[in-house]
Chain A
Amino acid sequence: MNKPPTVLVVDDDETIREVVTITLEGEGYEVLTAAHGGQALKVLQNHLPQVILLDMRMPVMDGWSFSQAYQQLPGPHAPLIVLTAATDASVFAAQVKADAFLAKPFDLDRLIEIVGRYSQP
């Protein structure tokens, strides 16, 4: 058996991390979480996720700062999927050169579908 694909969820809202984790784990993904950009960078020191789900407005280190720092890291980069309120989603996604965006509030089917698409090797 192959190792299941890993997804990193970066969001300051605990409830959202929880619902994403439950859903994706249900689909067989391994899910890592971080409450802000700083924590996410820490996680990335030891993991190479296939997909990163990124909220933009977060304390300590927001989505913009994180994506900037992430691009500086050596090695392969996972696709970024911006996870934010619909009004901002596409704008923010463009700002951080994300591969896709998922507007809040989102349907779980849509979450599964988009993560599935970007986690393919």
Chain B
Amino acid sequence: MDEGKDAHKTREELLEELERLRKRNATLEAATQPPGLILAESEASYRQLIELFPESIAIHQNGKFVYVNDAGLKLIGATDRAQIIGKPLLDVVHPDFRPAVIARARQTQQGQPTTLLEEKFIRLDGRPIDVEVVAIPVTYRGEPATQVVVRDITERKRFAEALLQNEERLRLASEAGDLGVWEWDIPTGKVNWSDNLEELHGMEPGGFGGTIESFRAMIYPDDRPAVMVALNRAIKDGQKYAVEVRTIGPYDGKLRWLATQAQTFFDEAGQPMRMVGVTQNITERKRAENDLRESEARFRSMADSAPVLLWVSGPDTLCNFFNQSWLSFTGRTMEQEIGNGWAEGVHPADFEKCLQIYLSSFEARKPFEMEYRLRRWDGQWRWLLDKGVPRFQPDGSFAGYIGSCIDIEERKRAEERQRFLADASKIMAASLDYEQTLQNVARLTTRLADWCAIEMVSGTDGSLEIMALAHRDPDLENQVYRLRKNLQPYLTENYPTVRVARTGQPELFHQMSTERLQEISPEPAAKKALADLGLKSAIFVPLVARGRTLGVLSLLSAASGHLFDEQDFALAQDLAYRAALAVDNTRLYREAQEAAKDREEFLSVAAHELKTPLTGLRGFAQLLSRQLTRPETLDPVRLGRVAQVIQEQSDKLTRLIEQLLDVSRIEAGRLGLDKRRTDLYALVEGVVNLAQSNTDKHTLRVVSQTAPLEALVDALRFEQVVTNLVDNAIKYSPEGGPVTVEITLSDPQTVRLSVTDQGLGIPAERRERIFDRFYQAHERAYLGGMGLGLHISRQIVELHRGRIEVEFPSEGGSRFIVNVPVQAEEGSEEGFIESLPVLSGVSLNEDSKR
């Protein structure tokens, strides 16, 4: 449009120029009338003039170029005049235009100048150019010729074509959508616009005032200043005008969003002439944008207030949003977290797995769930459960993921605790071996602590003895064990395990302070050992089963720096509870095993012992019947002997059965005493005399400084003890020898009975157990009896509040010593039946040692 005007102007200019030239030519022509000199002069000045003329000028005569000025040479692409002078005119004319050129040549030959013609030339380099040509008839060297003024319009034509195309496009666009085109003539202030602009602005058809002022009036007041600034800038500096403004429709009163882009055109003097622009209604887009902004704001406020950690990633897998909960959790900023920044907080051990799950789910656009540890702001690793789901745009395109995480540390720890305890129960149930179980418990506990020690209450003096120790680093086990052993002599009442064993109350040392360690023992050596252990934190829990503290389980932390907390403490107690049961079970099992073995042994011994007299009894009974079948050989002496043996053997059987019953009574706690004042000297003498009557090989002697010697005893039971000791002395002196029985008052309140033989004695390794039930000092070198004698004797003596002991004189043999009080203790009355407390049927060994 504006280019058309430019073209028009140029055409006018060209014609004016041409007119000037023609007038000049006419002058020159007039000057050709006078003779030579003037002509020569005028030709020279003419030549000079056209030589310098900026337009291309050529003269052709008889169809050939005879003159071309410098601008013409340049236009046609010649460097030298020789390249063109003398050449046919038509050589430089595009074939399509040759007829037209021939026509206008003919016209000029007839003395007629042409109007402005558009032609197409071919340059010497072959490039076609669009040109405007004006031809006038001239006389050259006395001959008629044609002078042409040529201008290259190739660029202009191309621009015009492009403009035409743009205009077309614009027209199509404006018809198709909410797009209007306008033109502002700046000097006049008139605005021309396409019809649809009125509708676009919400006004009646033809309602537009057509001035910039009426345009300004439509702009939403708040936006006016900005629009004016932009307009001014566009007019002054030629900057592109591009604004998005709100307008109020004068007709419908509706608010609209309009986007305008425009360009200013200036004249040669740099004065703004016109502004051409395109305006588009973008109200819908704005509304969508606003909706989006609002929904995003809503999402953000929702996300930030959600109690879960949220993250959002884009289709490129990179995270682009984390909610406030996430940022508060990690203590990092959005900038640190977005992209792949979040990965820095994931535990290195979990990262690889997480990434794999994330990427493979991403690939498949599938939801995923994963657990990993994330570093919290305080540096603590916390287990998170992260659930990610793919997001899709309304059009169905994949937009990335959104994930929510919850802190499952507590749940995880609870699960771990449960798993740990389940494992513990399994491991502890795996063995019935006492030591093995303790070792298993210690080993298991190293899952909670750097090392673990189990100290058990010793059966004899109640002191603590270290039974198991396990360290996370097995190489350190011996070192720690040694250090712990070094502490053994310093286990004062203050030592935690000792205290815990005493009180039965667990203790937690969250942080072991030096002062705390100093309290444990004042000994420098103990302090050193404790310092070497490098304790940081500790838990001591008692192992309690059936109301008894069996030992103490210690959980200790050193190198790891772990500080035990209340949860560890609770877990340790749970563990200790199970451990105590397991340990107690193994102990019971072992005792039951031993008791069962004892019983088996006893049965075997009892069977053997009962069978011996039974064999004699049966043999003689059979001898008797054999004799009776042969009456002729009946011998009264022999019959008497048979009767005697039968009598003896049944007595023997009776005694054995009595012993068995005694043991049974002892075990049931029903061995009662009927205490009466008794002369013990007489009692001993009676036993010794009877024993002596049964042996020739032994010499029995009673020694006493006091006779009679009265004490409060159960006479029958006491006699049983003396008989047992005397019989043993005889039995264990199979080659005969002296047996000395001494009965004295060792002090006014105590009767001392000793039985000394010079027989076999008892092998050193067996002495400890001789008072145990069924125990026989001479395993195979068997001396009859069931090993019950001493056991029963001991029970009887202890029921009398006495003690039984054994000595082994260096010259050989044995000396059994019984001490019993002369009187029963205060408050005890004559005839009072005392009995042992009911003993547990299964812990016989334990109890029998008392």
Contact B604 A87 (CB under 8 A): yes
Beta-carbon contact of B780 and A105 below 8 Å? no
Inter-chain contact A57/B608, CB cutoff 8 Å: yes
Contact residues in A for B616 (Cβ distance below 8 Å) = 13, 15-16, 18-19
A interface, size bucket: 20 to 34
User: In the bound complex, how far is the Cα of B627 from the Cα of A23, in angstroms?
Assistant: 11
Task: Give complex CA distance A68, B367 in Å.
Answer: 84
Q: Are A13 and B615 in contact (CB under 8 A)?
A: yes
- Docked-complex contact A105 and B623, CB < 8 angstroms: no
Let me know if A59 and B734 touch, CB within 8 A.
yes
Can you name the residue of chain B whose Cβ is closest to the Cβ of A15? B616
Considering the chains assembled together, what is the distance between the CA atoms of A104 and B612 in angstroms?
7
Closest CB of chain B to A111's CB: distance in Å?
A: 8
Chain B contacts with A in 755-781, Cβ cutoff 8 A = 778, 780-781
Q: How large is the interface on B (under 10, 10 to 19, 20 to 34, 35 or more residues)?
A: 20 to 34
The prevalent SS among residues of B at the interface is: helix
Q: Which residues of A contact B623 (CB under 8 A)?
A: 19, 22-23, 108
Identify the closest chain B residue to A26 (Cβ). B626
Known: A16-B619, A105-B615. A62 touches B780 (CB 8 A): yes
B645 at the interface (CB under 8 A from A): yes
> How close is B793's CB to chain A, nearest CB, in angstroms?
20
Q: What residue of chain A has the Cβ atom nearest to residue B649's Cβ? A: A15
Interface positions, chain A 87-116, Cβ under 8 Å from B, are 87-88, 104-108
Known contacts A15-B648, A16-B612; A62 and B619 CB within 8 A of each other: no
Check if A32 is an interface residue, CB within 8 A of chain B. no
Q: Contact between A58 and B611 (Cβ–Cβ < 8 Å)?
A: no
Cα distance A12–B782 in the bound complex, in angstroms: 10
* Residues 542 to 561 of chain B near chain A (Cβ within 8 Å): none
Given A19-B623, A87-B604, A105-B611, A59:B618 Cβ within 8 A? no
Q: Mark A45-71, 1 if CB is under 8 A from B, else 0.
A: 000000000000111111011000000
Do A104 and B782 touch (CB < 8 A)?
no
Q: Is A73 an interface residue (CB 8 A)?
A: no
In the complex the two chains form, is B780's CB within 8 Å of A57's CB? yes
B203 contacts the other chain (CB 8 A) = no
Which of B607, B619, B649 has the most chain A CB atoms inside 10 A of its CB?
Answer: B619
A86: Cβ under 8 A from any B Cβ: yes
B280 → chain A, closest Cβ, in Å? Answer: 115
Name the contact of A57 in the complex, choosing from B613, B618, B619, B782 (C-beta under 8 A): B782
By a CB distance below 8 angstroms, the chain B residues around A65 are 780
Within 8 A of A (CB), among B617-631: 617-620, 622-623, 626
Residue of B604, B731, B734 with most chain A CB atoms under a 10 A cut-off:
B734
Q: What residues of chain B have their CB less than 8 Å away from a CB belonging to chain A?
A: 604, 607-608, 611-620, 622-623, 626, 645, 648-649, 731, 734, 778, 780-784
Can you list 23 A-B pairs with a CB-CB distance of less than 8 A?
A: A13-B784, A15-B619, A15-B620, A15-B649, A16-B616, A23-B619, A36-B734, A57-B608, A59-B734, A59-B783, A60-B781, A61-B781, A65-B780, A85-B608, A85-B611, A85-B612, A87-B607, A104-B614, A105-B617, A105-B618, A106-B618, A107-B622, A108-B622
Q: Which 5 A-B residue pairs are closest in the complex by CB-CB distance? A: A19-B619, A15-B616, A57-B782, A105-B615, A85-B608
